[in-house]
Amino acid sequence: MELTTWNIPVLALRGLTVFPHMNLTFDVERPISIAALSRAMETDQEIFLVTQKELGTAVPGEKDLYRVGTVSHISQVLRVSEGSVRVMVEGGRRARMKRLWQSEPFLQANVEALPEQKDSEAFLNSARTEALLRQTTVLFEEYAERAPSVPDEVKAQVLDCRDPGYLADFLAQNVQLRAEERQSILEEPSSYIRLRKLNEFLARENDVLAFEGEMEDKVRSQLARSQREQILRAQIRVMQGELGESDDGDDELEEYRMRILQLELSEDTETHLMKEVDKLAKQPYSSAESAVIRNYLDVCLEMPWNTVTKERLNVEAARKILDRDHFGLDKVKQRIVETIAVRQMNPGGKGQILCLVGPPGVGKTSIAISVAKALNRKLARLSLGGVRDEADIRGHRKTYIGSMPGRIIEAISRSKSMNPLLLLDEIDKLGSDYRGDPASALLEVLDSEQNGSFRDHFMEIPVDLSKVMFITTANTTDTIPRPLLDRMEVIELGSYTDEEKLQIAKNHLLPKQLKEHGLKKSQLRVEDDALRAMIRDYTRESGVRVLERRVAALCRKADVRLLTTDVKRITVTEKDLHELLDMLPYPPALHTDREEIGVVNGLAWTEVGGEILEVEANVMDGSGKLELTGNLGDVMKESVQAALSCLRSRVEIYDIDPEFHKNKDIHVHFPEGAVPKDGPSAGIAIATALCSALTGRKIRAGLAMTGEITLRGRVLPIGGLKEKTMAALRNGIKTVLIPADNVRDLEQIDQTVRAALEFVPVSNVDEVLSRTLCPAPARIKSRVEKKPEPQEQTPVAAFAPARENSGDALRQ
């Protein structure tokens, strides 16, 4: 008696479906499946095979299994390896799972058989069934043609089969269908509907195979064309080898493509470079165009596109590096430390643009180098002095002969980093001509809002400069275009004081020169007085370059003496400088150190520091002429006119002849006539000299002054106070008159200078004259007839050539 229900073990299949009356072999690895097989072999060798819905489910439950499966007979079980068995089963009949009542140690369920539909003779012989069978045969033949892996015995059995139900199950078992489609056929009780569903699935599968065939044909044609090109290229290489023109073009192109892909550039940049490689592939190897493209690709691929150095954002470490490399410059170093602090608080911020402005030799370039060390950034230096071509900044078009990228791109490529510190040296010395204005080309480079996609004319692809830190240097801001200067934060570097120069010479210059000249510290010792004398009498500069050369001269002399004599140790004192460094190139400045009439010590600022500027005034009988000598500029000539007009308005106060502008000739002279002089800051010195000469009153000794004068006698502020006061101290001045508005600038003056000088703030010319003129008048006649002292006979012009050669120009 046939049973319609079973209580049998269950084997969950992954990706497989077993149909009735079909034989199937598969491997079993899961412990619950192996346990189910063992249980079935112990009983009647019957097992319920059902497909699970998801392949990834390791321990399926009732909800993870389809309801309809096949009750099958286990024909053979073979152990393949430890933990894996191979089983051969024969499908019995369709069945439905009523309840999965056991899940451990194996699956077991109550299963009921599905009724089998018996097809009648009339149905099997009907035209409708025959048409369906023929359609199935045609579809399967088409499938067999497109899928060559179908065995011949399967083809023969399909052609001989006339049972629709069996044919549907047989084809579903042997044709490539989805798991859901196989399950749909298994669950269908009607043989006709099963075969019709199978035809639909076969038709769709034939369409898929047709598309796959078309794609395969295209791939094959492309491969054939590629192989043909390779064969032709191989033939070309052989012929070029015979001609002595060996070419590795394909390897080169493949290398270019691989390097481009490895850079992981943006889509637009990668596409652009790939197009250039394709252009190169179409060019003859020895053509001029191929050389241009190769050069272009080499430049683009040498850029460090994805290379960024890790910044060392540590304020304390940066401060130590700056203090170690530089003495003084406290405000400048503090500003650099603030910049690093901002970077430490906001590492993702845009690169900053700083402009270090100061006279030559004060350490602008070396500060930038120290900043690069402190930040652990790569440093690339660009000297912009004398650059006149815009292409030097933006590059040339690659179509030109000898074209190359601009200096910005070249510096980044040289630094091997996308976040270097670029030092743009001498930015104030840029020029311009018919080839363009390089300063205008820098407007985009030095703008953090625009340089995120800088395009060089040579590369033609955007380069991100927002991570680059720019530091520029300049001696003056006067020649920098206003739009360019507006994009930079200016940091002023003033002149070094004599005390700062002394410390720099002791701690930096002398050890450096000793090392470069092969000397030990014990072999050469330079006393502080000797260094001070070198600073005072052998140098005239804001920085320390000339001082370093003087120290190097001492080291050379020491080398010679140590090698030619038995001396083992040399000590240089101030007295030895005359022998070692020859005559004084800058002797002590001529200035009045005693009370005289019409001679005043003014203070002047030059590019190499401050100096004493004497003002001499002489009054003679005449017709009111005013003579000005001393290589004066227009501003200084106007200052004399303003001082003279100011005194004419005060003739009654100072007992000056009211008609002096009619019956007296006045001569104002500034010694050292070879040196150009200009600026308004000598105004009160001129007024004092004129008043002294007109009244015959002597001027107090040990005084120096600086300040601009107006027609109404007001004293206006001036610049360069730090350098001027250092010059006063260096020349033995004790008291300095300064404008009252410059009192706030005294904080910037060195403490040594402030302690040694007496500063007298003045706000008008009356305060100046009351402080400088002696109360007892002297007769002008006796002063003129008095025989000059021997010291006054020394001609000032004797020192003019040395000053002229130094190129010093006195300014405000």
Assigned token pair, 747: 């904080």
Q: Which amino acid is at 590?
A: L
What's residue 737's pLDDT? 93
Q: Which amino acid is at 451?
A: N
3-state secondary structure of 27: strand
Q: What is the average pLDDT across 461-469?
A: 86
What's residue 776's pLDDT? 53
What's residue 320's pLDDT? 85
User: Domain 5-113, what architecture?
Assistant: Roll (2.30)
Q: How many CB atoms lie within 10 A of CB 810?
A: 27
CATH topology for 315-492 is: Rossmann fold (3.40.50)
What's residue 2's pLDDT? 52
Phi, psi at 420, each rounded to 5°: -80, 175
pLDDT band at 646 (very low <50, low <70, confident <90, very high): very high
3-state secondary structure string across 402-469: CCCCCHHHHHHHHHCCCCCEEEEECHHHCCCECCECHHHHHHHHCCCCCHHHEECCCCCCEECCCCCE
Tokens 């309840």 -> residue: 99
How far apart CA 293 and CA 274 sit, in angstroms, is: 11
Cβ atoms of 632 and 579 within 8 Å: the answer is no
Partner residues linked to 611 by β-bridges: 604
What's residue 786's pLDDT? 41
pLDDT at 380 > cutoff 50? yes
Please list the alpha-helical segments (H only) found in 572-650: 577-580, 634-648
Cβ atoms of 177 and 200 within 8 Å: the answer is no
Cβ atoms of 586 and 538 within 8 Å: the answer is yes
Phi, psi at 775, each rounded to 5°: -70, -30
pLDDT in tens, 81-132: 888 889 999 988 889 888 888 888 888 888 888 887 776 777 777 888 888 8
Catalytic residue among 467, 677, 698, 724: 724
498-580: in CATH 3.40.190.10: no
What's the chain's Rg over C-alpha atoms?
50
What is the pLDDT of the chain when averaged over all its residues? 82
Catalytic residue among 677, 681, 692, 722: 681
What's residue 639's pLDDT? 92
What's residue 795's pLDDT? 34
What's residue 313's pLDDT? 77
Which residues have a Cβ under 8 Å from the Cβ of 194 and sit 6 or more positions away? 164, 165, 168, 169, 172, 185, 188
Concatenated DSSP letters of 687-718? HHHHHHHHHTEEE-TTEEE--EE-TT-BEE--
How far apart CA 43 and CA 92 sit, in angstroms, is: 16
Mode of pairing for the β-strands spanning 715-716 and 697-699: unpaired
320 is catalytic: no
CATH topology for 125-212 is: Methane Monooxygenase Hydroxylase; Chain G, domain 1 (1.20.58)
CATH class name, domain 599-806: alpha beta
pLDDT in tens, 716-768: 999 888 888 888 887 888 899 999 999 988 887 878 788 888 999 999 999 99
pLDDT in tens, 124-175: 778 888 888 888 888 888 888 777 777 777 778 777 787 888 888 888 888 8
Of 244-248, 253-257, 650-654, the one with minimum mean pLDDT is 244-248
Buried b (16+ CB within 10 A) or exposed e, 101-133: eeeeebbbbebebbeeeeeeeeeeeeeebeebb
pLDDT in tens, 4-15: 788 889 888 888
Q: How many CB atoms lie within 10 A of CB 422?
A: 27
pLDDT in tens, 494-509: 778 778 888 888 888 8
pLDDT in tens, 607-645: 667 788 889 999 999 888 999 998 899 999 999 999 999
Partner residues linked to 525 by β-bridges: 571
Q: Which amino acid is at 347?
A: P
pLDDT band at 709 (very low <50, low <70, confident <90, very high): very high
What's residue 739's pLDDT? 94
- The residue ranges of every structural domain in the chain are 5-113, 125-212, 249-302, 315-492, 498-580, 599-806
pLDDT at 808 > cutoff 60? no
Assigned token pair, 193: 């509907």
3-state secondary structure of 788: coil
pLDDT at 783 > cutoff 70? no
Cβ atoms of 358 and 492 within 8 Å: the answer is yes
Q: What is the average pLDDT across 410-414?
A: 89
pLDDT at 177 > cutoff 90? no
Q: What is the average pLDDT across 571-594?
A: 75
Cβ atoms of 377 and 422 within 8 Å: the answer is no
pLDDT band at 587 (very low <50, low <70, confident <90, very high): low
pLDDT at 596 > cutoff 60? yes
Q: How many CB atoms lie within 10 A of CB 36?
A: 25
Which long-range contacts (C-beta less than 8 Å, at least 24 apart) are formed by 537-540?
Answer: 537/577, 537/584, 537/585, 537/586, 537/587, 537/588, 538/577, 538/581, 538/584, 538/585, 538/586, 539/586, 540/586, 540/608, 540/609, 540/611, 540/806, 540/808
pLDDT: is 181 or 667 the higher one?
667
Q: For residue 335, count CB atoms less than 10 angstroms from its CB and return exposed for 0-12, middle for 13-18, buried for 19 or more.
A: middle
495 is catalytic: no
pLDDT in tens, 37-78: 888 888 888 889 999 888 888 888 888 888 899 998 988 888
